[in-house]
Structure 1
Amino acid sequence: MQSQSTTSSVSPLADDATWPVKRRRLLDWLVQETSEERFIDNIFVDLNNRLARDHVPVARSTLHLRTHHPQWLGARIMWKTGMEKADIQTFGYDVEETERYRNSPIDRIKSGVGEIRWRLEKDSKETYPLYDELRSQGYTDYVAWPLYHTLGKEHVVTFASDSEGGFTDEHIAYLTDLLPALALVSEIRLKNRLARTLLETYVGPHASEQILAGATTRGSGVTVGAAILICDLRDFTAISDLWPRDDVIELLNGYFDAMAEPIARHGGEILKFMGDGLLAIFPLSDPMACRNLLEAIGEAQVALAVLNKDLVQKGRLPLGYGIGVHVGDVMYGNIGSRSRLDFTVIGPAVNIASRLESLTKEIKRPVLLSKAFVEMADCTKEFESLGSHMLRGLDRPFDVFGLKEADKVAVLTHA
């Protein structure tokens, strides 16, 4: 605790014989009556409004939570007087290296300090830029505490007042009493969010919804119509043998960014990364699924061209790739052993997309599409027939199409 100054002002709580009842009521609400609310930011807003009704002069509060997310180290939830919704800001993994973070009370709490208190009206010697910012905004008092979750996971909550005299000892005691309950409630919501985030990260948003809804039995699934895209990187075995490990990982990440981000942006779902390849579907429940898939391929090719230009400038060979596209019914669900499942799609339509991707190596076109997809896409002017070809596992020739602009893109992207 940085400041030991006190105030002689009388708290409304101290004059109100019912304030212990109010505190108990608030704790009961926090622990027992928020079970139907999924999101901690909504609970946090409600909590601060209830504190104000109980005459605790909170005018600004923040909740700093660490998350397990591929992009974000954590998030800050901020509430101020009059806000109906909290402001949520995410932070990347490099935030702890910034001067602002290192020179903040949050960093001090994370280093093990159990409480930070600063009376902005009276304590003149500044230790953090935040204090000056808060004072300029009219705040008079500031307090921060750690919130302890299971196994020592530590987060931070802060409260600031704009009332004359700031918080009294009774206010601080009132807020302190809430910390264990707030830690419990926030941990439950954070773990729910983490479970969803981890599932979305590893199996995609649509599959994660199915799993969270209870689709965890082996063999459970549904038949869906989908446009199917399979992409594979060329000569990756040679690259992985010759390149340093970290360079190979960086290359794969750049390649998957170029492919995956347009797919996600246009409503596709990546079900599987397969070494240097990926499998994605665009459900036909969206009438624009085929058009969206083509848009995703176009944007991915542009991104891959940029990546290849950078590789050439660094003295590397450009990346080649093959994309196979088909459309049809697939079984979408859980497949695997009794204890290890994979949420994916299977069926003849997937096999054909895979065979088309393999065929790109033979006929030297980066993107090959089936006749069924071309007919469903209903934009034949964008395609050209490449004749009939035998696909492995099929007993008859298969009509194959390419993109008319593919050769222009291939100059930059296809080895």
Structure 2
Amino acid sequence: MTNHETPPAPSGIVDWLIGPARQNATPEEVVGGVAERLVESGVPLLRVRIGQSVANPLISAWGVIWSREGGPESYTVPRGMLATGSYEGSPFKHVITTRKSYHRSLENLVTGQDHAVLFELAESGSTDYLAMPVAYGDGSVQACAFTTDRPGGFSDSEIGLIESLAPAIGAALEPAAMRHSMASLLQVYLGSGPAERIGKGAFRRGQTTAIDAAVLITDLRDSSGMSERLDPDTLLKRLDAYFEVVVDAIRAQGGDVLKFVGDGVLAVFPADEEGSRPEACRRAARAVLDAFACPAAAGMRFVAALHVGPVVYGNIGSLDRLDFTVVGPTVNYLSRLEGVAKTLDRRAVCSREVAAVLPDGATRSLGSQTLKGFAEPREVFELWLPDGASS
């Protein structure tokens, strides 16, 4: 490592981090702002990466990578990745477990001794690597890494400058990370639409919105029998596989999964604009067909029902326990349609209102059916499946 002279950092970098950046900057803006200000001060950065652990059942971490050519971009780390070789023995693990910085020249790496990630960085043009801990107020430690492509690497003064920013970086990133993690967790448990609404302040009981939407419900057949035949672990794996098939299909078509009720899935496809009801119905129907056509659904027996109409969308519940869901006559009618699907042994049914806006040939009438709670019989339609079969 050589001692290149570096101009002092801009006097406002710490003030920016603990002021405007801490108050309202996104993680991408924080990381990008730090990198750009360091470059302005003369530090020849090639790449900056800051990772964040997160309390989320689907991902173990997320973070931001800034590059000289591309700017800042966010990324996520799937849950389970921390148990692989990409994390074990890595500089990030060293920083997090020891709470100390890790510095390594990338110009003289040793095969079998240095971690694979360092070789990858060297192959991409980096000559020096510095990882340091960033402590948060809750006691957790996050890791951030800086690389340069200058021959000889960072100077001692540059390393000192970067490390001196750790407290201010932590002050700026912690609230941004909390906002990001909260939004991520809400989305996992509530769906994108509800998470966005609650994030914007719609979290009080009675805060509801009347919307027009296509509503979908699915239900697994013979779940009671499976619970008796299968051991708990096998049963849960079957349920998870079924939920994954249905939820992936719903999300791919822009729907929001509102809840799991036993082995049932309730989802909504909002008609966001006037006149978009047909499109909401088509997306909901496509989600059903895609779920049944998914190779992973082979051997699964579940039913689906579709209806469309006005629903009340928002928070309901007791004083200290709320649920974000949809209620109203449209939802009540949907549950009756699901019962018809089971009674008639059909995999997918829909109401007349849905059938009326789907393409010709997408449905066929099953005639007038008596629905519990409704005085007059209602016409019910079968949604044709990808293979043309009816059950």
Instruction: Give the alignment of 1:41-52 within 5 angstroms.
Output: 41-52=28-39
Q: How does 1:158-197 map to 2 (within 5 A)?
A: 158-197=145-184
Distance 1:255 1:129, change over 3 A: closer
Report the Cα distance in structure 1 between the residues aligned to 2:165 and 2:387, rounded to whole angstroms.
65
Paired residue for 1:16? none
When the two chains are superposed, the root-mean-square deviation of aligned CA atoms in Å is 2.3
Partner residue in 2 for 1:65: 52
- The match for 2:373 among 393, 396, 400 is 393
Q: 1:296 to 1:132 in 2, by over 3 A?
A: closer
1:119 aligns with 2:100: no
**Per-residue deviation, 1:121:** 4.6
Contact kept, 8 Å, 1:219 with 1:334, in 2: the verdict is yes
State how far apart, in whole Å, the 1-side matches of 2:110 and 2:339 are.
Answer: 71
Q: Which position in structure 1 is the counterpart of 2:251?
A: 264
Letter in 1 for 2:343: E
1:329 to 283, 296, 310: 310
2:291 corresponds in structure 1 to 300
TM-score, structure 2 as length reference: 0.91
Q: Which has the higher helix share?
A: 1
Q: Which has the larger radius of gyration?
A: 1
Deviation of 1:285 after TM superposition, in Å, equals: 2.6
Map of 1:154 onto structure 2 = 141
Q: How far did residue 380 of structure 1 move? A: 4.3
Letter in 1 for 2:339: S
User: Distance between the aligned counterparts of 2:37 and 2:372, measured in 1?
Assistant: 67
Question: Is 1:80 paired with 2:74?
Answer: no
Q: Which of 93, 100, 103 is matched with 1:107 structurally?
A: 93
Residue 253 of structure 1 and its aligned partner are, at CA, apart by 1.0
* Deviation for aligned residue 1:114: 0.7
Structure 1 residue 379, shift from structure 2 partner: 2.8
1:12 aligns with 2:6: yes
Distance 1:216 1:280 in 2: 20
Work out whether 1:340 is the aligned partner of 2:321.
yes
Q: Contact (CA 8 Å) 2:57, 2:79: kept in 1 or not?
A: no
Tell me whether 125-134 or 139-148 shows the greater mean CA deviation.
125-134
2:332 maps to what in 1? 351
Question: Following TM superposition, by how much is the alpha carbon of 1:213 offset from its aligned partner in structure 2, in angstroms?
Answer: 1.4
Identify unmatched segments of 5+ residues in structure 1. 1-5, 14-18, 310-317
Name the CA distance, whole Å, in 2 between partners of 1:26 and 1:308.
54
Structure 1 window deviating more from structure 2 (92-101 vs 184-193): it is: 92-101
Report the secondary structure of 1:218's partner residue.
coil
Give 1:235's match in structure 2, choosing from 206, 210, 222: 222
- The one of 202, 206, 220 aligned to 2:189: 202
The residue aligned with 1:90 is: 76
> What's the counterpart of residue 14 of structure 2?
27
Counterpart residue type for residue 12 of structure 1:
T
Shift of 1:135: 3.9
Specify the SS of the correspondent of 2:87.
helix
1:38/1:263 CA distance change after superposition, 3 Å: farther
Give me the whole-angstrom Cα distance separating, in 1, the residues matched to 2:390 and 2:96: 51
Unaligned ranges ≥5, structure 2: none
How many aligned residue pairs are there? 386
Distance 1:403 1:140, change over 3 A: closer
Q: 2:228 aligned with 1:248, yes or no? A: no
Match of 2:326, SS state, is strand
**Secondary structure in 2 matching 1:59:** strand
Residues 367-399 of structure 1 deviation map (CA, whole Å, 9 limit, x = unaligned): 221112222x14343221111111111111111
390-399 vs 165-174, greater mean Cα deviation: 165-174
Task: Tell me which residue corresponds to 2:262.
Answer: 275
Regions of 4+ moved over 6 Å:
122-125
Change beyond 3 A, Cα 1:221–1:283: same
Q: Percent identity?
A: 30
